[in-house]
Structure 1
Amino acid sequence: MDINNIITFIAVATLLVISPGPNGFLIAKTVPVSGQKAGFANIWGFVGAFYVHGTLSIFGISVLLVQSSQAFFIFKSLGAAYLVWIGIKSLIAAFKVDSIKVSDLAQKTTKSISMRTAFLEGFLTNVLNPKVSMFYLAAFPQFISINESSMNAYALVTAHVVVNFVWFSTMVLMLSRIKSATNNVRFRRWLSSITGIVFIGFGAKLALMKSS
């Protein structure tokens, strides 16, 4: 595999990872409320989804999203509905904050989300995102020659995973330092409200996305 292709792919993948999107807001929602371990569980969910999209792209299955407008619409609708559902849950949590006693807040924070749920949120946020699939359909194949082995193709997926893991791990470590701020009721209400609105916005934007 050409080293220039690898470097170029990493640059493109980096731009995709660091651009504002659902992943960053999911981490921002999870870590202050549920802690560092839950944040890393989100990231492992991202990783699993990337390998799913990479595998579908390598074996040509994802091309159905491009060739079938109906398949793309169903896939897009599922992704949009899931993002809106996360947003609604966050808004409901914001309204419930007022009924939580401050003395009980820390205890509820540590139990607010399981590692399995955090992993699934990260996984589903990405595996149901047509934009990630489009990346692996449009950009990914340009860095692989026709005779390229699947091992080399998976090496590029792994490069994307590493960039993603480094970036969001840094975010998790930074956000975990302000976890104590969640003992403040106003902060919890503000955080849940903002993330709820943002996720609903992402869902609406995804629902309006047109197949290329």
Structure 2
Amino acid sequence: MDINNIITFIAVATLLVISPGPNGFLIAKTVPLSGQKAGFANVGGFVAAFYVHGTLSIFGISILLVQSATAFTVFKMLGAAYLIWIGIKAIRNALNPKETISIGLSKKTPSKISIRSAFLEGFVTNTLNPKVSMFYLAAFPQFISLESNAYSAYALVTAHSLVNLIWFSIMVLALSRVKSAANSVKFKTWLNSITGLVFIGFGAKLAFMKSS
């Protein structure tokens, strides 16, 4: 594969990665409340989902989501419902913050999201996002020639995944520095309220998105 194509693809992927979206807000919600490991689990879920979309695109299955109005609508609404569900959970937590319980000299902090749950949140958020499928369908024809094989296509998926890994790892490390602020009930309430509204907004926007 032409190195110039790879560099151009990485540049396009980078612009898409760093643009505001559900991934960044999910990281911003997870790290201050559940810690650095949970944030990296989110990122792992993102990357795994990219390979799912990449595989579907390489074998042409994702085309059905664009060419079939019914398939696209079903997939889109599932993604929208999931984003709205995350938003509702966050707002519910904001309205009913768990109080810190003192046990002797130690304190029991509010329950945190598990590593497994954080991974699944990142994975499902991206798997049920038809925009990711359309990105691969729009990008691959431009950067892969007819003579290219599946290995070349997966090289682009890997490049996209590495960009995500680097960008969101930096975000996780940066946000982990303010994790101590999460001990404040006011901070938890504010963070859950903002992220909840944002995810509901993303879900509503996705629900009204039309296939191009």
Correspondences of 1:90-109 after superposition (within 5 Å): 90-97=90-97, 99-101=98-100, 107-109=108-110
| Structure-2 residue corresponding to 1:164 | 164
Aligned residues: 210
TM-score norm. by structure 2 comes to 0.96
**CA drift at 1:141:** 2.3
Correspondences of 1:92-131 after superposition (within 5 Å): 92-97=92-97, 99-101=98-100, 107-109=108-110, 111-131=111-131
Which has the larger helix fraction? 1
Correspondences of 1:18-167 after superposition (within 5 Å): 18-97=18-97, 99-101=98-100, 107-109=108-110, 111-167=111-167
Q: Which runs of 4+ in 1 moved over 2 A?
A: 101-104, 106-109
| Structure-2 residue corresponding to 1:183 | 183
Q: How big is each residue's C-alpha offset from its partner over 1:103-129, in whole Å with a ceiling of 9 and x where there is no partner?
A: 58x7334x4111110000000000000
Is the Cα–Cα contact under 8 Å of residues 41 and 118 in structure 1 kept in the other structure?
yes
Supply the distance in 1 between the matched residues of 2:210 and 2:157 (Cα, whole angstroms). Answer: 25
**Gapped regions of structure 2 (runs ≥ 5):** none
Is the Cα–Cα contact under 8 Å of residues 83 and 200 in structure 1 kept in the other structure?
yes
Supply the distance in 1 between the matched residues of 2:3 and 2:95 (Cα, whole angstroms). Answer: 52
Distance 1:177 1:107, change over 3 A: farther
Is the Cα–Cα contact under 8 Å of residues 100 and 109 in structure 2 kept in the other structure?
no
Supply the distance in 2 between the matched residues of 1:85 and 1:141 (Cα, whole angstroms). Answer: 34
Supply the distance in 2 between the matched residues of 1:138 and 1:166 (Cα, whole angstroms). Answer: 23
Supply the distance in 1 between the matched residues of 2:206 and 2:195 (Cα, whole angstroms). Answer: 16
Supply the distance in 1 between the matched residues of 2:167 and 2:15 (Cα, whole angstroms). Answer: 11
**Gapped regions of structure 1 (runs ≥ 5):** none
| Structure-2 residue corresponding to 1:11 | 11
**CA drift at 1:96:** 1.2
Supply the distance in 2 between the matched residues of 1:166 and 1:96 (Cα, whole angstroms). Answer: 35
**CA drift at 1:175:** 0.5
Q: How big is each residue's C-alpha offset from its partner over 1:157-201, in whole Å with a ceiling of 9 and x where there is no partner?
A: 000000000000000001011111011111010000000000000
Cα RMSD for the two superposed structures: 1.5
**CA drift at 1:134:** 0.6
Supply the distance in 2 between the matched residues of 1:102 and 1:167 (Cα, whole angstroms). Answer: 36
Between 132-141 and 193-202, the greater mean CA deviation after superposition: 132-141
Counterpart residue identity of residue 11, structure 1: A
Is the Cα–Cα contact under 8 Å of residues 101 and 109 in structure 2 kept in the other structure?
no
**CA drift at 1:102:** 7.0
Q: Does 2:190 match 1:197?
A: no
Supply the distance in 1 between the matched residues of 2:108 and 2:70 (Cα, whole angstroms). Answer: 46
TM-score norm. by structure 1 comes to 0.96
Between 59-68 and 83-92, the greater mean CA deviation after superposition: 59-68
